[in-house]
Amino acid sequence: MFKCKTSAAVGGMGHSVKRKEDARFLHGKGNYVDDVKLPGMLTMVMVRSPYAYAKIKSINKEKALAIPGVLAVITGYDLAQYNLHWMPTLLSDTQMVLPTDTIMHQSQEVCAVIATDRYIAVDGAEAVEVDYEPMQAIVDPFKALDKDAPLLRPDKKGQKDNHIYHWEQGDRAKTDEVISKADVVVKERVYLPRIHVASIETCGCVASYDKDTHKMLIYMTSQAPHAIRTILALVAGHVGLSEEKIRIISPDIGGGFGGKVPVYPGYVVAIAASFLIGKPVKWIEDRSENLVNGFARDYHMDCELAATKEGKIQAFKVKTLADHGYTDSSANPSKYPTGMFSICTGSYDYAHAFAELDAVYTNKAPGGVAYRCSFRVTEAVHAIERMVDKLAAEIGKDPAQLRLENFIKKDQFPYASPLGWHYDSGDYEATLHKAMKMIGYADYNKEQAEKRKQGKLMGIGICTFTEVVGAGPSKDFDILGIAMFDSAEIRVHPTGKVLARFGTKSQGQGHETTYAQIVAEELGIPYDQVQVEEGDTDTAPYGLGTYGSRSTPTGAAAAAMAARKIRDKGKKIAAYLLEVSEEDIEWEVGKYFVKGAPEKSKTIQDVAFAAYTNFPLGMEPGFEATYYYDPPNMTFPNGAYICVVEVEKETGQIDVKRFVAIDDCGNIINPMIVEGQVHGGLTQGIAPAMYEGIEYDDEGNVLNGTFMDYLVPTAVESPHWETGHTITPSPHHPLGAKGVAESPTVGAPPAIANAIIDALSPLGIKHLDIPITPAKVWEAIQAHSK
Amino acid sequence: MIPANFTYHKATSLKDAIALSQTLGEDAKYMSGGHSLLPMMKLRFATPEHIIDISKIKGLSYIKEEGDLLKIGSLTTQTEMEHSLLIQKGYPIFSDAVKLTADPSVRNVGTIGGNIAHGDAANDQPSLMLAMRATIIAEGANGKKSIPIDDFFHGFYMTALEPSDVLVEIQIPKHKKGSGGAYHKVERKVGDYATAGVAVHVELDAGGVCRQIGIGLTNLSSVPLRLSRAEDLLKGKKITEDLIVQAGTIASEDCEPTSDLRGSEAYKRSITKTLTERMLRSALKRATS
């Protein structure tokens, strides 16, 4: 286990210090975008389409403009005058800001109403008269590829059908050959439906343009404020928004989970409106707007897993159809249109794999937004973990044993996966053994055998996942060409206190605490004397933001490296103060001392003061450092999750009796915060496994557009999470850390699905797609009872 | 998520409320806890021009036994029902239901009268009222009236209440030896409306013969549904396991569910059968213990 180097008072790595940010959150003093109120501020509300696919015949603003307090109704035609009615997405597609003629998904923005307050703006939006000519929407992505399917994006030059792109990785021929000769091949179509991130805070912004200084100040719910600033400068440079004049402040954020990475049309319209009107304009989504307009997942994966009859895995092949809605709004690194999906070969040692994917347009909201799933890792892990369980069932081998026999062994790291990743470290066997011991795996096997004799449905499900996070090394990872490094700037004040600023942006992860702990670890300055700031593009160093579990792999590494630069400078100052040569100075937490004479020492605080008051001649004064960290590799957190369920035959109700999660996220900065991340992530894992999924009818209407029907699980639905850790430090990360936030969201759904399907297996049920609801279970039982 | 414009009126007394309703006419709507009405207004499914808030009227919040009756004031909140010792001891069917209704913050404000007067077959209380054969007391422009529960629910959000009528009291036959009831619903998650819900109340004589029985169904039709055919089957008999299963079969046949996000019609019929059987067993157990 990790041994703390610092005292509890210093609070470096490994200490469960309380979160510094919580006092203001718990006291209701958080400052979210909707808390921002500026003098003369106006409110913007969107008129949204009731249809999924329609021509706009006319928009009549008159009745809305007649309402006292309604100042403007902005349409796509108004924006077209400035060429702002379309915007690029991060992956070279285009998205309407506001439409001029065609509606492409239900709830799409039709026009924007600006009024003196929100109540009036909502009444104004009700009063706008839009004449639509509805058309037959394409909802099924498979039908979108039919020869006679209408072309959804005639606006795109050269677009002849609804196919967006093809992607593939691996050796198709060799994989096919191995599969064709294998003893056993299991196949399944695995579908991960669209789900919604359900952050407590919806998206929004306040844009405030000053016509005299030409400064555009934007408060925005953004996980990546610096990247957004650059994008705005690139897309709105032609109307005079220059990057040095744009200041984005991401204040406190009430949950992001990937949903606050993209640029939404509302941001652009609010910014344009403020630019034109010269007054602050606030736009905040309401709950249903947030729920219906941004999605993750929607992958239909045809999987094949080949093995020997003894169960040695030989090859994996997956062909995916990705439903991107009407535009590809994936927020992925540019060279990775399918994110990190190629992690789909999993935690197992075999040589051959092939993955391909075709993305298509449908009449749904822009797809591809992440959901705490680090770029399609959730989809990838679900595919391989379902297939491994299916293989176990097929050959009649215990699924834990099958995994143990196929794992990449501890001494095989760094491990080159068949689809091109270099797994950094792990001890998969130890992790699974720990989970099996904690849950009492053997006893449950016996109990299950007993229960099955009594006709009861009990299931045990395992998931042993490998994550890939921390995007990423600049040679492969960029967004619009900007390399995916991240940054830290540390200033030690003369009295030895610290201001540290980062290019990342916490949305609840606890950066104000964990980054302070890293500075404490490296400099020995108590964590509570380290002030952490993020999110203001005018003050924070440039960085790509927080998503894909990247802050610890990149930002935390930058913090350590910047602190080490300061420590190195301090060594020179300490040598000067102690009148010895630099080589004679040694460091222990918080203190420089003379080799062999530890009583001759200077504290970091002494040295900090000297850096401003009494430094060697010729030395640059001050005690600050900035570091832009370009990671050499991704990090590969992993884990073993085991779940026990009981299913009631009559009603299909599922009772999750136990859930054990053992995570290996390398060295841990704050165990309490990791515990919280894991609990939240596991709950966000049970959500898509058993409750959540956006439902559409044949016309493209969203059927569950409120929290009354979009079922976000609560504490009541959550089982008692039992957690634990193995620790295999990342060999290339300065702190040996890996990132953890998304592991539980990735690992929980297949564990739960595998358990439920295992419970139902005596009836002959071999697969169910998530969410596995009681109604779905009941229907499956009926279908297999006849 | 913002309601259309409306005018808010706060009634200080029952008389005041009724007078306001008469003055304001059909565009006015009474509101007690507001937890059914306000969400509909926020989604603009309901756009009343006037809201008459009756929640602060004094004297309509009580739970008491008087003579042969249990009397519950209409403004009694779900939370007050939950914590009442009288309810917990003598009428555990209410405890079953209240704990499954919405969440604590809604129950703190939502009233039992509002739950019934809203006329929504998805609400939990109406099926309990059917099972216990309640009488609804209302007061309006034409004075006080007493409405047997079987005459109360007219259709989708429609009841026997006239526009000026305020539901003031619920009367239920007092608990006696040999009587007992139980309620359960299948819900998708906590706080959800029922996928299917079944309320059963039985009265047995000294010999264990069923003297009276009520079975009410939640969210299995456009109106709260009484399972008359099953009641007729069981009344006057000793309720055996065989009869329970027969009643369950009738329940699955006589309920009127539709397929929706909560499940298919077949699924709902099936769980209605299961729930009916289980609630009959629970009610019998309580009646005989």
Encode pLDDT of B275-284 as tens digits. 999 999 999 9
Based on the residue annotation, tell me whether A344 is a catalytic residue of this protein: no
Number of domains present in the structure of chain B: 3
For β-strands B28-31 and B50-53, DSSP reports them as: parallel
- The reply to whether A424 falls in a domain is yes
What angle, 0 to 180 degrees and rounded to 10, lies between the N-to-C axes of helices A441-453 and A428-439?
A: 50
Q: Which residues of A touch B1 (CB under 8 A)?
A: 286-288
Per-residue pLDDT, averaged over A53-75, amounts to 98
**Domain harbouring A279, CATH code:** 3.90.1170.50
| CA A686 to chain CA mean position, Å | 16
The pLDDT score that the predictor gives to residue A12 is: 98
Regarding whether B152 and B243 lie in a shared domain, the answer is no
Torsion sign (Cα): A477, A478, A482, A485: negative
Minimal Cα–Cα distance from B279 to chain A, Å?
Answer: 14
Domain that holds residue B273: 179-288
| CA A88 to chain CA mean position, Å | 21
Neighbouring CB atoms inside 10 A of A670's CB total 25
The residue behind tokens 């009397």 is B71
- The reply to whether B2 falls in a domain is no
Q: Which residues of B touch A286 (CB under 8 A)?
A: 1
CB burial of residue A77 (10 Å; 0-12, 13-18, 19+): middle
Percentage of chain A beyond pLDDT 70 is 99
pLDDT tens digits, one per residue of A284-298 = 999 999 999 877 899
SS3 at position A543: coil
Regarding whether B211 and B282 lie in a shared domain, the answer is yes
The pLDDT score that the predictor gives to residue A372 is: 75
Domain that holds residue A612: 22-30+486-629
The residue behind tokens 């670890």 is A521
Q: Which residues of A touch B188 (CB under 8 A)?
A: 691, 711, 773-774
Residue finishing a domain among A284, A312, A333: A284
> Tokens for A427?
């001890």
| pLDDT grade for A332, boundaries at 50, 70 and 90 | confident
Residue finishing a domain among B173, B203, B232: B173
The pLDDT score that the predictor gives to residue A296 is: 87
In sequence order, which residues have a C-beta less than 8 Å from that of residue A649 and are 6 or more positions away? A455, A457, A781
Regarding whether A650 and A580 lie in a shared domain, the answer is no
Q: Could you tell me which residues of chain B have a Cβ less than 8 Å from any Cβ in chain A? A: 1-2, 4-5, 39, 43-44, 186, 188-193, 195, 261-264, 266-267, 270-271, 274
Per-residue pLDDT, averaged over B97-124, amounts to 96
Regarding whether A532 and A444 lie in a shared domain, the answer is no
Query: What does the alpha-carbon distance between residue A484 and residue A375 come to, in Å, rounded to a whole number?
Result: 14
pLDDT at A91 over 90: no
Averaged pLDDT of chain A: 96
Based on the residue annotation, tell me whether A223 is a catalytic residue of this protein: yes
- The reply to whether A185 falls in a domain is no
pLDDT at A486 over 70: yes
Minimal Cα–Cα distance from A717 to chain B, Å?
Answer: 7
A247 φ, ψ to 5°? -125, 120
Per-residue pLDDT, averaged over A118-131, amounts to 97
Per-residue pLDDT, averaged over B191-199, amounts to 97
Q: Which residues of B touch A786 (CB under 8 A)?
A: none
Regarding whether A361 and A396 lie in a shared domain, the answer is yes
The pLDDT score that the predictor gives to residue A236 is: 83
Number of domains present in the structure of chain A: 3
Based on the residue annotation, tell me whether A373 is a catalytic residue of this protein: yes
- The reply to whether A422 falls in a domain is yes
Report CA-CA distances (Å) from B98 to B102, B104, B106, B111, B162: 8, 10, 11, 11, 27
| pLDDT grade for A402, boundaries at 50, 70 and 90 | very high
Strand boundaries in A90-241, DSSP class E: 94-96, 102-103, 109-115, 129-134, 163-170, 184-192, 204-209, 216-220
**Predicted model pTM:** 0.97
pLDDT tens digits, one per residue of B49-69 = 999 999 999 999 999 999 999
Query: What does the alpha-carbon distance between residue B208 and residue A28 come to, in Å, rounded to a whole number?
Result: 59
- The reply to whether A386 falls in a domain is yes
CB contact under 8 A, B270 and A650: yes
SS3 labels along A649-681: CCCCCEEEEEEEEEEECECCCCHHHHHHHHHHH
In sequence order, which residues have a C-beta less than 8 Å from that of residue A446 and are 6 or more positions away? none
The pLDDT score that the predictor gives to residue A1 is: 63
Averaged pLDDT of chain B: 97
CB contact under 8 A, B2 and A709: no
SS3 at position A322: strand
Regarding whether A523 and A610 lie in a shared domain, the answer is yes
What's the complex ipTM?
0.95
Residue A466's closest CA among A693, A728, A188, A670? A728
Exactly one of A194, A372, A386, A550 is catalytic; which is it?
Answer: A372
| DSSP-assigned letter for residue A520 | H
**For the ranges A240-244, A758-762, B245-249, B253-257, which has the lowest average pLDDT?**
A240-244
- The reply to whether B58 falls in a domain is no
**Domain harbouring B28, CATH code:** 3.30.43.10
| pLDDT grade for A339, boundaries at 50, 70 and 90 | very high
Report CA-CA distances (Å) from A507 to A28, A30, A280, A389, A737: 16, 12, 24, 35, 20
Regarding whether B125 and B155 lie in a shared domain, the answer is yes
CB pairs under 8 A between A and B: 58
